[in-house]
Amino acid sequence: MKFYEEEDDFVVKRRRRNEPDFWHRLNRVLQVLVVAGFLLTVALMFYPVWQKQNDMRLRLLTLEAEKNGKTAVLTKSQRQLDLLRNDREYLETIARDRLNVMKPGETIFRIELPRS
């Protein structure tokens, strides 16, 4: 009989020792899951704001590129306007080229390349 009692005590002690260890591990797993759930909730709350910020940043880059293109066109137009107002040679060149105007006694030869 003593053999069985010792065995029972050993089994009971072993169970008691394992049970708290099991609950401690389960408690740790639950803590990790709660923290992960909290972080996931926070991430999901801020995701739309983050997405909107990325969309706005992309739109800003697009608008800046468009602005730079239009600024270049404006600068070119202002330069051309200034040349037309102040540079007589440039004005003559443009008049000859675009309006087919020529000076008296001048012959203009135009060579047109075939369109392919």
Express each pLDDT in 18-65 by its tens digit: 667 888 889 999 999 999 999 999 999 999 999 999 999 999 999 999
Residue reference for tokens 């389960």? 26
pLDDT at 6 over 70: no
pLDDT at 112 over 60: yes
Query: pTM of the prediction?
Result: 0.51
Per-residue model confidence (pLDDT) at position 28 = 93
pLDDT at 85 over 60: yes
Give 29 or 5, the one with higher predicted confidence.
29
Q: Confirm if 109 and 102 have CB atoms less than 8 A apart.
A: no
Per-residue model confidence (pLDDT) at position 1 = 45
Average pLDDT of 91-110? Answer: 81
Per-residue model confidence (pLDDT) at position 18 = 60
Structure tokens at 59: 């739109």
pLDDT at 3 over 90: no
Cβ neighbors of 90 (< 8 A, separation 6 or more) are: 83, 84
- The domain ranges of the chain are 2-99
Structure tokens at 87: 């540079």
Give exposure, 17-50, as e/b (b: 16+ Cβ within 10 Å): eeeeeeeeeeeeeeeeeeeeeeeeeeeeeeeeee
